[in-house]
Amino acid sequence: MRPLYSLAIVLLYPLVAVTQQKAPLSQQFETIARAAKGTVGVSALVLETGETAVLNSKMRFPMQSVYKFPIAMAVLQQVDKGKLKLDQPIRVLPSDYIPQQGHSPLRDEYPDGNVDVTVAELLRYNVAESDGSACDVLLRIIGGTSVADKYVHDLGIKNIRIALTEQVQVPNELMQYRNWSTPEAMTALFKKFYTGHVLSDSSYNFLLDLLINSGPGARRLKAQLPKGTVVAHKTGTSGTVNGLTRATNDAGIITLPDGHHLIITVFVKDAYADQETREKTIANTAKAAWDHFVQD
């Protein structure tokens, strides 16, 4: 029996060696993050198992347009309470439009303003097209940033701050740091959205569909995942000034092959790498998490 036992050890040794050579997931995140030439924060959670992996997960990062996700939740809560209706027309005023350097398909489509747009369509612009003007209109009709901020905090998510409108944030480079979140808090908010029954079924399904069909971010979380993978997510991006990009973000829910759900937030701040490299940092982080949590 000894020769067979010895042979088994010999055959198993390469497998053990390979396993030992693979770095822990958090360490992989740290290695991937170096390419961004900035600070990267990650919070990854497999919903059904509770497995986690993090990097700088308690650090504050500017959210940029990721904050349009909690704002959409706050709007839909008012829909659920009967204060607003999805088919309710809202007059969009020229004064609602953000400056030209900000992204706003709504402004570009109706440059003169004074147009009626339904709450549902404003939400679509806000989430699926990351429209800054639509975001500000939604904030206006719910009562301002303080209402959205309180809504998130009332859910038990404390380390997110919604302080400024897009009109204030867009033309003032340093103001974006006042709309901040930790990666851990944003992952917790997505978990609350997905499992906490904080919205009605109709509002939940409406927002989930917008997140899944969101246009921006093709080269971020979903870029290196298998074709057809369902990713419900929201991106955020700042401008670049003198080679410095203050925010390149993506956060959301990835459906794994076994039906489990990976909630992951990847925030990149104060980075000097180019856009391709910053986005690839997010994509590589998501792929590392996928490879770690997906069982062959």
For the annotated catalytic residues, the residue numbers are: 65, 166
53 phi and psi angles, rounded to 5 deg = -150, 140
- Angle, CA 34 vertex, CA 171 and CA 49 arms, to 5°: 95
Would you list the DSSP string of 273-293? S-HHHHHHHHHHHHHHHHHHH
Distance, in Å, from the CA atom of 261 to the CA atom of 256, rounded to the nearest integer, reads: 6
The 8-class DSSP code of residue 270 comes to S
Contact 114, 106 (CB under 8 A): no
User: What is the C-alpha to C-alpha distance for residues 221 and 231, in angstroms, rounded to an integer?
Assistant: 8
CA angle at residue 233 from 94 to 211, to 5 degrees? 60
Rounded Cα gap, residues 35 and 32, in angstroms: 6
